[in-house]
Amino acid sequence: MVVEISCEEVWREISKYLDGEISDEMRARMEEHFKGCKHCTAVLDGTRNVVQLVGDARAFELPAGFSNRLYLKLNRRLGKDR
């Protein structure tokens, strides 16, 4: 018997699921849940896309001096808020 799992539990475990860091039992429960839950399947696909995007260095090729400008801008903003 594959034991049910709630959407909330799926969301908590989704990152570990993608990283392959969950037990076989939990994987089976989540896969059974995805079959019937469009919402969680959408969350899974979205999370998978984000993980791939973040892991792809080409997508985040930043212009020269970006880090420095961002740092200065954040410092200015934080200074204003204080």
Partner 1 sequence: MSPVYEINVAKSKFRDAYNEGDLDGLLAVFADECTDMSAGAPSFFGADSKSVLRSRMTRLFEEFSATLIVTVIAIRVFANTAFDYGWHSLTLTPRDGGKPITTRQRYFETWQRNSKEEWKIDFYIDNVDVAPMMPGADLPIPLAFCPPDTQTQRDQKLARAM
- Interface with partner 1 (CB under 8 A): 1-9, 33, 35-37
User: What gap in Å lies between CA 31 and CA 63, rounded to an integer?
Assistant: 41
Q: Which of 43, 48, 20, 23 is nearest to 33 (CA)?
A: 43
Contact between residue 29 and residue 37 where contact means Cβ atoms under 8 Å apart: no
* Beta carbon nearer to partner 1, 39 or 82: 39
Residue 79 Cβ vs partner 1, minimum distance, rounded to whole Å? 39
Residue 10 Cβ vs partner 1, minimum distance, rounded to whole Å? 10
Q: How many residues does the chain have?
A: 82
Residue 60 Cβ vs partner 1, minimum distance, rounded to whole Å? 33
* Beta carbon nearer to partner 1, 39 or 73: 39
